[in-house]
Chain A
Amino acid sequence: DTGVSQDPRHKITKRGQNVTFRCDPISEHNRLYWYRQTLGQGPEFLTYFQNEAQLEKSRLLSDRFSAERPKGSFSTLEIQRTEQGDSAMYLCASTPNTIPLEQYFGPGTRLTVT
Chain B
Amino acid sequence: DQQVKQNSPSLSVQEGRISILNCDYTNSMFDYFLWYKKYPAEGPTFLISISSIKDKNEDGRFTVFLNKSAKHLSLHIVPSQPGDSAVYFCAAYTSNDYKLSFGAGTTVTVRA
Q: Name A residues whose Cβ lies closer than 8 Å to a Cβ of B.
A: 4, 31, 33, 35, 40-45, 48, 55-56, 91, 93, 95, 100-108
Q: Is A45 touching B98 in the complex (CB atoms < 8 A)? A: no
Contacts of B101 in A (CB 8 A): 45
- Across chains A and B, the number of contacting residue pairs, with CB separation under 8 Å, is 59
Contact present for B43 and A42 (CB under 8 Å): no
By size class, the interface of chain B is: 20 to 34
**Complex formed: what's the CA distance from A107 to B103 in Å?**
19
- Across chains A and B, which 7 residue pairs bring their CB atoms closest together, nearest first? A42-B102, A105-B43, A102-B46, A100-B98, A45-B99, A105-B44, A107-B43
Specify the chain B residue showing the minimal Cβ separation from A107.
B43
Main secondary structure of the interface of B (DSSP, over half): loop
Give 19 A-B contacts (CB < 8 Å), ordered by A residue.
Answer: A4-B43, A31-B98, A35-B100, A35-B102, A40-B9, A41-B105, A42-B89, A42-B104, A55-B97, A93-B43, A103-B100, A105-B44, A105-B45, A106-B43, A107-B41, A107-B42, A107-B43, A108-B42, A108-B43
